[in-house]
Amino acid sequence: MGRIILLDELTANKIAAGEVVERPASVVKELMENSIDAGSTRIEIAVIDGGLTEIIVADNGSGMDADDAGLALERHATSKISGADDLTRITTLGFRGEALPSIASVARLRLKTRPRDNLSGTEIVIEGGKILKTGETGCPPGTILEVRELFYNTPARKKHLKKQTAETGCVSDIVSRYAMGYPGISFQLKSNGRVVLQTPGTGDLLACITGVYSPETAREMLAVKAGDGENSVNGYIGKPSISRSGRHHQTIYINGRYVRNRTISEAVERAFHSMVMIGRYPVFILNIITGPEQVDVNVHPAKTEVRLAQTGRLQELVERAVAEALAGHRLIPAAPAVKVPTVKTPAETVRQEEWQVPYQEVSAAAKVCEAPVAYKDVTGICELPVPEEPAGTEGFPDLRPIGQINCTYIVAQGRDGMYLIDQHAAHERVLYEKFMDRPEQYTAGEQLLFPTTLQLTGQETQLLNDRIFDFTELGFVIEYFGGDTFLLRSVPAGISKNGGREIFLDLLDYFSRNRYRITTKDLREKLLITMACKSAIKANQKLGLPEMEALVGQLAAANQPYTCPHGRPTVIHFSGYELEKRFKRVL
C-alpha cells in the first residue's frame, strides 16, 4: 500500500517558510528585495519589538493590479522568471515566488498595493495561509506589506528567536546592507516608532556609509574602482586604522545582491596584508558587477551565498583594486591629542574633543574634513555631516631627522610639522620588503658549524613529520637524533646564526596554532617577518644622525612605508596646525 501523499498547499508553504523565514530580519529582507525589484526609490521599514509584533514595509514601486496581487500570494507565482532557462541569468533579487506565500503561512499578513496608473488599490488580508478578505481600497501608489505576529502558529520557531534587542539588531543590520547596496534608494528604518536609520537616496554611497556607520567612519574611507573589461568592482574600503576584530563590517554585493563570500573577503585582506595587525580585519563595502550567467544564485535558501564561475579572476580584480586604492593614499596616523590640564570654556572643551580622534589621515585634504559641511537629505529628516573624501595621493613626506627620543623614536621635521618614527618598526618594514623582494636568497639553507639540538614534544614531532618539506624549503634542515631529540643542521641564510633555533621553534608553534590553514607561502612570509623583526634595530638603541637619515630614506623608498609588517604604524604626525593649537597660538 502506498504511503506517499501530496502535501496540501499550507503545509508546503510552511515547509518553505522553514527555509526562507528564519527570523524577523529574513521577512524584512524578502520584502525589501521585492520593493527593490519593483523599482522603488523610497522604502520605509517599521518594526515593533524587533519585528516579532509587527513589520511594515512600504514602497513607492510599481505596485500590483488586483489579479497580480492575488497571484503574488500563491506558491511559485513570480513575475521575474518564466522558465528554467531564466535561472541561468537572474537579474532580479527574487525569482522563486516563495517569499510571500511562505510569510503568509506563518504570520498575519495584509497587502495593500496600487499601480501608479490605477485610481484605486487592492487589499488582501491573509492569515495562516487563508485569505480572509480581498477588495478595493484607497492607498498611495506602490505596495505596503504588513506582517503581524510572526510565528504565531509555529510556537517552536518562535521560541528559537533571540531577545527583542538582538532581533532588532538583525533587522537593522540587513536594512543597513541593502541601504549601502542601493544608494539610489532612500531607506528609512523605524524601530518602535523611532527612526534608527536613514539614507538620502541620492546615489552617493559615502552618504549612505555616513548614515549607516558614522561621519567619522565615512571620513576614514578610501574609494575603490577598477574593471577588467568584463567585470568591475567599486565601493569603499576603510583605512587600516579603522580595522575591526571580525569580518562583520565587510559587505559584498555581487550584481546588487548582498552575499557572504569568503574568497572575496580574503582577496581584500590580501591587499591589506601587513597593513593591519594579525586578528584585525579591514572594513569595506564593495560592489562587484559581473555577467549574470557567471553567478549561480540558486544555491542557498535565503540566497545569501552564490556560486561564482570565475572566482579566481574576480579575486584578482578585487585584490588589485584594493591595493591600488591603498597605494594612492598617505596613511600616516595623526598623533592622538594629549589632554592639556588647563581651565577651558565650554566651547573650547568641545573643540578640544573634536580633535581627539586618534587616527586621522594627515593630508592637506584632511583639514577640509575637520569642518563638516552641513547637509540636508532629501526628506529633510536628518542632518548629517558629509565629509569630503580626502583625495591626497602624495607619497611619503620628505623628512629631515633631528634627533632621537628615549633612543627609540626618531624626531623628524617635514613640510607640515613634526614626525615621530618608531625606529624598530621602520627598520622592520625596510628589511621585510628587502627580504620579500628576493625570498629565495634569504631562505636558502646555510649549514651551521655545530648543529643545535632540539627537544620536541610528541605533537611537535608529528607536526614536523607532516610538514617537513615546508621546513626544508625554508632552509631548515632537521635530522632525527633519537628519543625526543632532533638536530638542527642548517638554517635560512638570512637568520643570524644564533637566532635559528628560536625562530624555528616560533614557526613550529605558529604551525601548531593554525595547523591546516597554513600554506608554504604563509610560512615563508611568517619566517621573513620574524627575520625582519629579529634583525631590525631595537628600541633603546642610540643612533647617529647619518644612521637616522639612512633609515628614514629607506623607509621613504618602501612600497608600504606606513606600517611595520605586523601592521603597527611606523610613523605618526603632529601637524604644524596641531602644534599651534596646543601652544594656544590658534584657538
Please report, as ranges, the residues that interact with ligand ADP according to CB under 6 A. Answer: 30, 34-35, 38, 59, 61-64, 72, 77-80, 94-100, 143
Q: Report, in Å, the least distance between residue 90 CB and ligand ADP.
A: 10
579 binds, among ligand ADP, Mg ion, none (CB under 5 to 8 A by kind): none
Residue 33 or 319 having the CB closest to ligand ADP: 33
Q: Are 260 and 225 in contact (CB under 8 A)?
A: no
Q: In what order do the strands lie in the sheet with 477-482?
A: 445-455, 485-492, 477-482
- 61 in contact with Mg ion (CB under 5 A): no
- Segment lying near Mg ion (by CB under 5 A), choices 94-102, 285-293, 440-448, 572-580: 94-102
Residue 94 or 129 having the CB closest to Mg ion: 94
503 binds, among ligand ADP, Mg ion, none (CB under 5 to 8 A by kind): none
Q: Report, in Å, the least distance between residue 157 CB and ligand ADP.
A: 19
62 binds, among Mg ion, ligand ADP, none (CB under 5 to 8 A by kind): ligand ADP
CA gap 560, 543 in Å, rounded: 23
Residue 45 or 464 having the CB closest to ligand ADP: 45
Q: Report, in Å, the least distance between residue 313 CB and ligand ADP.
A: 29
Q: Convert 15-25 to b/e letters by CB count within 10 Å (16 or more is b).
A: ebbeebbbbbb
Q: Which residue is nearest to ligand ADP (CB)?
A: 94
Residue 101 or 390 having the CB closest to ligand ADP: 101
- Segment lying near Mg ion (by CB under 5 A), choices 88-96, 225-233, 524-532, 533-541: 88-96
Q: Convert 437-461 to b/e letters by CB count within 10 Å (16 or more is b).
A: eebeebbebeebeebeebebeeebe
- What single DSSP character describes residue 361? B
Q: Report, in Å, the least distance between residue 52 CB and ligand ADP.
A: 21
**477: Cβ contacts below 8 Å, ≥ 6 apart:** 445, 447, 488, 489, 490
Q: Report, in Å, the least distance between residue 40 CB and ligand ADP.
A: 7
Helix, strand and coil in the chain, % to nearest 5:
40, 25, 35
Q: Report, in Å, the least distance between residue 233 CB and ligand ADP.
A: 27
Q: Report, in Å, the least distance between residue 28 CB and Mg ion.
A: 12
Q: Report, in Å, the least distance between residue 118 CB and Mg ion.
A: 22
- Considering only 24, 51, 94, 387, the residue that binds Mg ion (CB under 5 A) is 94
Q: Report, in Å, the least distance between residue 113 CB and ligand ADP.
A: 6
Q: Report, in Å, the least distance between residue 33 CB and Mg ion.
A: 5
- 287 in contact with Mg ion (CB under 5 A): no
**314: Cβ contacts below 8 Å, ≥ 6 apart:** 231, 233, 264, 267, 288, 290, 308
Residue 94 or 494 having the CB closest to ligand ADP: 94
Q: Are 335 and 577 in contact (CB under 8 A)?
A: no
Residue 80 or 501 having the CB closest to Mg ion: 80
Question: What is the phi-psi region of residue 572: left when phi exceeds 0, alpha when psi lies from -120 to 50, beta otherwise?
Answer: beta
Tell me which residue has cell 623582494. Answer: 437
Q: Report, in Å, the least distance between residue 73 CB and ligand ADP.
A: 8
Q: Are 372 and 387 in contact (CB under 8 A)?
A: yes
Strand (E) positions, 315-459? Answer: 400-405, 409-414, 417-422, 445-455
80 binds, among Mg ion, ligand ADP, none (CB under 5 to 8 A by kind): ligand ADP
Residue 92 or 360 having the CB closest to ligand ADP: 92
Q: Report, in Å, the least distance between residue 305 CB and ligand ADP.
A: 17
- 34 in contact with Mg ion (CB under 5 A): yes
97 binds, among Mg ion, ligand ADP, none (CB under 5 to 8 A by kind): ligand ADP
Residue of 70, 56, 77 lying closest to 134 (CA atoms)? 70
- Considering only 28, 58, 73, 99, the residue that binds Mg ion (CB under 5 A) is 99
What grid cell was written down for 442? 634569504
Residue 102 or 265 having the CB closest to Mg ion: 102
Q: Are 213 and 385 in contact (CB under 8 A)?
A: no
Residue 31 or 326 having the CB closest to ligand ADP: 31
Residue 95 or 432 having the CB closest to ligand ADP: 95
CA gap 247, 235 in Å, rounded: 17
Q: Report, in Å, the least distance between residue 92 CB and ligand ADP.
A: 7
- Segment lying near Mg ion (by CB under 5 A), choices 47-55, 95-103, 148-156, 421-429: 95-103
Q: What is the dihedral of CA 211, 217, 222, 225, to 10 degrees?
A: -30
Residue 94 or 142 having the CB closest to Mg ion: 94
Residue 61 or 181 having the CB closest to ligand ADP: 61
Beta bridge partners of 130: 127
- The radius of gyration of the chain's CA atoms, rounded to the nearest angstrom, is 30
CA gap 466, 488 in Å, rounded: 17
- Segment lying near Mg ion (by CB under 5 A), choices 17-25, 91-99, 435-443, 445-453: 91-99
The three-class DSSP label of residue 315 is helix
Q: Are 147 and 108 in contact (CB under 8 A)?
A: yes
Q: Are 81 and 65 in contact (CB under 8 A)?
A: no
72 binds, among ligand ADP, Mg ion, none (CB under 5 to 8 A by kind): ligand ADP
164 binds, among Mg ion, ligand ADP, none (CB under 5 to 8 A by kind): none
Residue 72 or 366 having the CB closest to ligand ADP: 72
Helices 500-513 and 458-466 pack at an angle, to 10 degrees, of 90
Q: Report, in Å, the least distance between residue 37 CB and ligand ADP.
A: 6
Tell me which residue has cell 624626531. Answer: 411
Q: Are 470 and 508 in contact (CB under 8 A)?
A: no
567 binds, among ligand ADP, Mg ion, none (CB under 5 to 8 A by kind): none
CA gap 178, 215 in Å, rounded: 19
Residue 90 or 384 having the CB closest to Mg ion: 90
Q: Where does this chain bind Mg ion (CB under 5 A)? A: 34, 94, 99
